[in-house]
């Protein structure tokens, strides 16, 4: 069979990486991270229902340094996914399709998620009396 002389689909040699592409990939990745976070929540609630010994063990793991890093990452994932979801909701109305607004809204989602994550953790530590 003879090979058809057709143009190839555009790929990485055509498209340049931009912040809007990163935001789109982050939206998918944070969705997967939130699925993992949901499993941690179910584990914690199961430990709560199991009894005080197992609950204290799980709480100790989640409040360790590694546990707090994981929870911090899940908080960032939630904020990024929220902001990106709102961005996509606005894009569904037909707005933000020109490149400048699209890039700006992508940057805004990342800035929002960083500020919101730091704000949530600051408030959590302030309410716990650790600040």
- Under DSSP, the state recorded for 1 is -
The domain total for the chain is 1
pLDDT value for 119: 98
- How far apart (Å, rounded) are the C-alpha atoms in residues 42 and 86? 26
pLDDT value for 14: 67
pLDDT value for 46: 97
Axis crossing angle, helix 19-50 with helix 65-91, rounded to the nearest 10: 130
Residue 6 inside a domain? The answer is no
Give the domain CATH number at 73. Answer: 1.20.1300.10
Residue 64 inside a domain? The answer is yes
Residue 11 inside a domain? The answer is no
Residue 105 inside a domain? The answer is yes
pLDDT value for 12: 60
- How far apart (Å, rounded) are the C-alpha atoms in residues 127 and 17? 41
Domain of residue 116, residue span: 19-127
Residue 5 inside a domain? The answer is no
pLDDT digits (tens, 9 = 90+) for 54-107: 999 999 999 999 999 999 999 999 999 999 999 999 999 999 889 999 999 999
B/e letters for 72-83, b = 16+ CB within 10 Å, e = fewer, are eebbbbbbbbbb
pLDDT digits (tens, 9 = 90+) for 25-38: 999 999 999 999 99
Residue 13 inside a domain? The answer is no
Residue 7 inside a domain? The answer is no
């Amino acid at each position: 069979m003879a090979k058809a002389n057709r143009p190839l689909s555009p790929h990485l040699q055509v498209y340049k990486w931009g912040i809007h592409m990163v935001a789109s990939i982050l939206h998918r990745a944070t969705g997967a991270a939130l699925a993992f976070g949901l499993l941690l929540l179910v584990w914690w609630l199961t430990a709560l229902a199991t009894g005080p010994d197992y609950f204290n063990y799980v709480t100790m793991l989640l409040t360790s340094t590694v546990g707090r890093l994981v929870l911090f990452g899940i908080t960032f994932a939630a904020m990024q996914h929220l902001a990106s979801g709102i961005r996509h909701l606005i894009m569904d109305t037909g707005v933000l399709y020109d490149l400048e607004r699209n890039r700006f809204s992508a940057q805004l989602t990342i800035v929002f998620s960083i500020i919101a994550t730091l704000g949530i953790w600051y408030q959590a530590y302030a309410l716990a009396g650790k600040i």
